[in-house]
Structure 1
Amino acid sequence: MTRPAGSGLSDEERYDQGMAVRREVLSDAHVDRATANQTELTADFQDFITRVAWGDVWSRPGLDRRSRSVAVLSSLIAHGHHEELAMHLRAALRNGLTVDEIREVILQSAIYSGVPAANTAFRIATEVFGDDQA
């Protein structure tokens, strides 16, 4: 059994690990915007996602980042999380997926998540990548 990536780490160490991964996957510019927009209301949530989503789950050794991106894109398409989809389409490129591979993920999602969900995902991908790519 694979131990959680954050096992044995303090909350501060998990946060630091998570922030490093978050910056690598989403870009410094994105993370800087998110932290600059943090409020007293959202501070605990930002800490939580940095420690848990990025410091624990995204840091686990069981899947590479390309595979994690495929899983995330599929889930976001299925659940209609369009704002997050746009962000993670860009992240998927940073994680080594090609536009052609992303196209295949979206096409595959049409079978399991529905044509309307894939149609919206293709629209968002076209906005993110431009008409020539998507």
Structure 2
Amino acid sequence: MTTERLTDQARHDQGITVRRAVLGDAHVDRAVAGTTEVTADFQDFITRVAWGDVWSRPGLDRRSRSVAVITALIALGHEEELAMHLRAGLRNGLTVDEITEVILQSAIYCGVPAANTAFRIANRVFSEEQS
């Protein structure tokens, strides 16, 4: 697969657009507003690389990327990021039933305790999203 080479600024612009579409304006606005001298390079990095490069690739749709990310976060026990990406999964078109199946599937490969924690977080996120 050949990809067009973008400038850092174009990658950042593409990344912020995708980041907002996946995570929502409110989340991105909070992250940007919370940027400090210490975190500025990191915020630029994740916007350019995670969102401008990887999430912008044509090989997977956003639903599929959400499934992959949710599974990885369950496996690694990243609870705060999991809640954010469960919301993103809903925004990317996954249904509650589909996310529930992803968590159930993760119980086999990531472990029952990890899935148990993921179900607890999902229940909270789904309740908040319905309110």
> Do Structure 1 and Structure 2 share a fold, with TM-score over 0.5?
yes
Which whole-Å CA distance do the structure 1 matches of 2:2 and 2:88 have between them?
Answer: 25
- One-letter code of the match for 1:57? V
Letter in 2 for 1:74: T
Aligned match of 1:106: 103
State which of 120, 124, 133 in structure 1 corresponds to 2:121: 124
> Which of 28, 32, 40 is the equivalent residue of 2:29?
32
Aligned to 2:58: 61
Q: Which amino acid aligns with 1:122?
A: F
Structure 1 residue ranges, 4+ long, deviating more than 3 angstroms after superposition = none
| 1:130 Cα deviation after fit | 1.7
> 1:76 matched to which residue of 2?
73
Query: Matches of 1:68 and 1:125 in 2, distance apart?
Result: 18
Who is 1:52 aligned against? 49
Paired with 1:67 and 1:73, the residues of 2 have a C-alpha distance of 10
Deviation at residue 3 of structure 1 after TM alignment = 3.1
Identity %: 78
Number of residue pairs the alignment of both structures matches: 129
Written as runs of structure 1 = structure 2, the 5 A alignment for 1:4-15 is 4=3, 7-15=4-12
User: Using the alignment, how far apart are the partners of 2:2 and 2:15 within structure 1?
Assistant: 16
TM-score scaled by structure 2?
0.96
Q: Which position in structure 1 is the counterpart of 2:2?
A: 3
Residues 1:115 and 2:112 aligned together: yes
In the alignment, the residues of structure 1 paired with residue 84 and residue 127 of structure 2 have an alpha-carbon distance, to the nearest angstrom, of 15
CA deviations on 1:40-97 (whole Å, 9 max, x unpaired) are 0000000000000000000000000000000000000000000000000000000000
Scaled by the length of structure 1, the TM-score of the pair is 0.93
CA separation in 2, counterparts of 1:113 and 1:20?
Answer: 32
**Amino acid in structure 1 at the alignment position of 2:90:** L
Which letter maps to 1:21?
Answer: V
Structure 2: runs of 5 or more not aligned: none
User: Out of 19, 23, 26, which is 2:20 matched to?
Assistant: 23
Instruction: Return 5+ residue gaps in structure 1 as ranges.
Output: none
